[in-house]
């Protein structure tokens, strides 16, 4: 659903992430493009305005975390603001949410009444069956479905057929009964039959009219639904939002199910819904089949829209894991072309703190290709530990002046670290290589050398240097000024 929006936001934001420093004008220009992209996706104007204002303010005000670029910070800000706009909590990555927590609220005495409302053809009946099926399979609830649609021919039969398909009981049809009467019978049946949930499917109308509303109100007052779900078609864009608004005003809804998300809707409805109506999207209909129903997780959807989850988690990790002061010092030294074994040790430790190495390296935008060239053995945490042990077995002086380390010292270091002289040699060679790179980088001024380091001269050797060059907000050490 969000393909085009994802493309546009992606190109605007990845441009930002590739840069070092950002001026307020850069941010403003990017925000203009983001604004256009959102409007093209059919997001309500007021929602877009609010969004841009919030992001702009934060992008200027927020202290940029060292070790990520301002551009990457902006991506994170946009992401968090998107999550909020979708009704979520940005600190929740949305990973471990079950159906219940984001889905139907059943915290009420049984039988819990759920009322389905919406315009004609929005997908109420199909969604009723999907939800009933889901509650029965996943939540082990006994569900009774009741069709209150006496207007469209064979509407009650449609629900009965769907019920048979998914193994959910439907209230027997009595010809000629009116909606309120049927609802009353449904309630009685739900109580006597000891059902956990009773789901009422109502009739749709072409537009919201008074007759329809007063009928729905009568039903609502009778069944006292714990959840009143508006089913609305994502393909109708802003109309879906207007529909939700008026249903909410007149009937009072507790949540929204957005259907036909599998179609080529531009996404505006999904994006504006929460902000305009104040009601959460709870579920997404993603197809005609009975299992084509998804819980709506703001963080996940925002991630999908932005398509830059990698940058977002990079920033998150950087914020929590990097030892700024050490990184600063290291950077300053590298800037001077200095790189002794202590620096190498500091880098190794920095890398390990960041957690899964391949994961984190893969997250750095633009380095994906380079990463592929690194032998996976070089990324093995065990080999990092080994390197660390070797350096830690050296005397402070040896660490500063590696030339001191001759045969007998190597022997001692190998024994001390539980490795071999060959391992010590390898590390020294790696260090020498990195030192050379640092010097060369000083001359070349940053990223160019980094690329050379990754491509040319043995990726393993370049690894430490690369981490030292995690994109930084400004100036040193990467030299992008
Ligand atoms: N592609 C797709 N089709 C859907 C989805 N939900 C419902 N449909 C289809 O939309 C059509 C109408 O669905 P219904 O469930 O009958 O809609 P309704 O709101 O009950 O319609 P009325 O009772 O006439 O107001 C059916 O052909 C469904 O299969 C969805 O999420 N994706
Ligand atoms: Mg129907």
Residues 42-68 pLDDT 10s: 899 999 999 999 998 888 766 666 556
Residue 82 lies in a domain: yes
Rounded to an integer, the average pLDDT of 383-405 is 89
Residue 107 CA to residue 134 CA, distance in Å, equals 17
Cα of 193 vs centre of ligand 2, distance in Å, is: 24
Residues 229 and 158 both lie in one domain: yes
Residue 474 lies in a domain: no
For residue 100, count other CB atoms closer than 10 A to its CB: 14
pLDDT in the model for residue 183:
97
Cα of 205 vs centre of ligand 1, distance in Å, is: 13
Residues 461 and 360 both lie in one domain: yes
Residue 301 lies in a domain: no
Whether the CB-CB separation of 148 and 233 falls below 8 Å is answered with: no
**Between 23 and 261, residue with greater pLDDT:** 261
Residues 155 and 289 both lie in one domain: yes
Nearest CA to ligand 1 atom 25: 120
Which backbone phi and psi does 64 adopt, to 5 degrees? -80, 130
pLDDT in the model for residue 315:
67
* Residue at a domain's end among 310, 333, 367: 310
pLDDT in the model for residue 312:
67
Strands 293-295 and 281-285: antiparallel
Cα of 129 vs centre of ligand 2, distance in Å, is: 10
Dihedral (CA of 127, 116, 42, 236) sign? positive
Residues 259 and 200 both lie in one domain: yes
Residue 364 lies in a domain: yes
Give the structural domain span for 76: 3-95+306-310
Residue 13 CA to residue 11 CA, distance in Å, equals 6
pLDDT in the model for residue 351:
66
Nearest CA to ligand 1 atom 27: 288
Q: Which atom of ligand 1 is nearest to the CA of 122?
A: 19
Residues 130 and 178 both lie in one domain: yes
Q: pLDDT tens for residues 225-251?
A: 999 999 999 998 888 888 899 899 999
- Banded model confidence at residue 478, pLDDT cuts 50, 70, 90: very low
Q: Which atom of ligand 1 is nearest to the CA of 292?
A: 31
Residues 27 and 126 both lie in one domain: no
Nearest CA to ligand 1 atom 21: 121
* Residue at a domain's end among 310, 344, 359: 310
Strand order of the sheet with strand 197-201? Answer: 169-170, 143-147, 197-201, 112-117, 227-233, 255-259, 281-285, 293-295
* CATH code, domain with 127: 3.40.50.300
Cα of 231 vs centre of ligand 2, distance in Å, is: 10
Residues 246 and 119 both lie in one domain: yes
**Which of 77-81, 188-192, 354-358 has the highest average model confidence (pLDDT)?**
188-192
Cα of 103 vs centre of ligand 1, distance in Å, is: 20
Residue 330 CA to residue 323 CA, distance in Å, equals 11
Residues 452 and 353 both lie in one domain: yes
The end-to-end CA distance of the chain, in Å, is 39
Residue 39 lies in a domain: yes
Cα of 415 vs centre of ligand 2, distance in Å, is: 78
Residue 110 lies in a domain: yes
Ligand 1, CB within 6 Å, residue ranges: 118, 120-126, 149, 152, 155, 204, 231, 259-260, 262-263, 285-288, 292
Residues 284 and 367 both lie in one domain: no
* CATH code, domain with 24: 1.20.120.140
Residue 460 lies in a domain: yes
pLDDT in the model for residue 36:
92
Which of 254, 244, 285, 12 lies closest to 126, judged by CA? 285
- Six-digit token string for 242: 């207007």
Q: Which atom of ligand 1 is nearest to the CA of 119?
A: 25
pLDDT value at 363 more than 60: no
* Residue at a domain's end among 246, 279, 310: 310
pLDDT value at 373 more than 80: no
Q: pLDDT tens for residues 102-146?
A: 478 888 998 999 999 999 999 999 999 999 999 998 889 999 999
Residues 393 and 405 both lie in one domain: yes
pLDDT in the model for residue 180:
95
Residues 117 and 81 both lie in one domain: no
β-strand partners of 373 = none
Torsion of CA 283, 75, 441, 327, to 10 degrees: -90
- Banded model confidence at residue 449, pLDDT cuts 50, 70, 90: very low
Residue 328 lies in a domain: yes
Residues 167 and 228 both lie in one domain: yes
Q: Poorest-confidence range of 15-19, 104-108, 193-197, 378-382?
A: 378-382
Q: Say how many domains are in the chain.
A: 3
> Could you tell which of 288, 289, 295, 296 is best to mutate to test the pocket of ligand 1, judged by most ligand atoms within 8 Å of the CB?
288
Nearest CA to ligand 1 atom 28: 288
**Between 93 and 15, residue with greater pLDDT:** 15
**Percent of all residues in the chain with a pLDDT value above 90, rounded to a whole number:** 39
Mean pLDDT of the chain: 79
pLDDT in the model for residue 88:
80
Q: pLDDT tens for residues 186-223?
A: 999 999 999 999 999 999 877 777 888 889 999 999 99
Q: pLDDT tens for residues 267-306?
A: 888 889 988 889 999 999 999 999 899 888 888 888 878 8
């Amino acid at each position: 659903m969000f393909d085009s929006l994802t493309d546009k936001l992606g190109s605007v934001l990845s441009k930002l992430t590739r840069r070092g420093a950002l001026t307020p004008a850069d941010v403003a220009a990017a925000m203009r493009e983001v604004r256009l992209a959102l409007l093209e996706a059919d997001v309500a104007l007021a929602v877009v305005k609010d969004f841009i204002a919030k992001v702009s303010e934060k992008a200027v005000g927020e202290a940029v975390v060292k070790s990520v670029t301002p551009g990457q910070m902006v991506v994170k800000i946009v992401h968090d603001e998107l999550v909020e706009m979708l009704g979520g909590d940005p600190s929740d990555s949305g990973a471990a949410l079950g159906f219940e927590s984001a889905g139907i609220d059943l915290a009420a005495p049984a039988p819990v009444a759920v009322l389905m409302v919406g315009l004609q053809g929005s997908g109420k009946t199909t969604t009723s069956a999907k939800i009933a099926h889901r509650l029965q399979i996943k939540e082990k609830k006994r569900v009774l479905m009741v069709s209150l649609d006496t207007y469209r021919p064979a509407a009650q039969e449609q629900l009965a057929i769907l019920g048979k398909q998914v193994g959910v009981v439907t209230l027997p049809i009595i010809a000629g009964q009116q909606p309120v009467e049927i609802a009353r019978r449904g309630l009685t049946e739900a109580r006597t039959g000891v059902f956990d949930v009773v789901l009422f499917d109502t009739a749709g109308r072409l537009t919201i009219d008074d007759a329809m509303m007063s009928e729905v109100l009568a039903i609502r007052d009778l069944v006292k639904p714990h959840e009143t779900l508006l089913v609305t078609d994502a393909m109708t864009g802003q109309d879906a939002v207007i529909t939700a608004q008026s249903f909410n005003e007149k009937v009072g809804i507790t949540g929204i199910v957005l259907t036909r998300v599998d179609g080529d809707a531009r996404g505006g409805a999904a994006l504006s819904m929460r902000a305009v109506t104040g009601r959460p999207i709870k579920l997404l209909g993603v197809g005609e089949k009975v299992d084509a129903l998804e819980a709506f997780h703001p963080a996940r959807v925002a991630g999908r829209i932005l398509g830059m989850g990698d940058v977002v988690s990079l920033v998150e990790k950087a914020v929590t894991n990097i030892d700024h002061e050490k990184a600063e010092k290291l950077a300053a030294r590298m800037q001077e072309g200095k790189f002794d074994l202590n620096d190498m040790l500091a880098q190794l430790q920095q890398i390990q703190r960041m957690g899964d190495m391949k994961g984190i390296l893969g997250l750095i935008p633009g380095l994906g290709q380079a990463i592929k060239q690194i032998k996976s053995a070089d990324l093995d945490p065990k080999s990092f530990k080994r390197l660390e042990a070797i350096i830690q077995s050296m005397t402070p002086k040896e660490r500063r002046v590696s030339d001191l380390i001759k045969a007998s010292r190597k022997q001692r270091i190998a024994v001390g670290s539980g490795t071999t002289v060959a391992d010590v040699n390898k590390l020294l060679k790696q260090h020498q290589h990195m030192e050379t790179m640092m010097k060369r980088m000083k001359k070349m001024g940053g990223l160019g050398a980094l690329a050379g380091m990754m491509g040319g001269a043995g990726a393993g050797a370049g690894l430490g240097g690369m981490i030292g060059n995690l994109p930084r907000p400004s100036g040193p050490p990467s030299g992008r000024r």
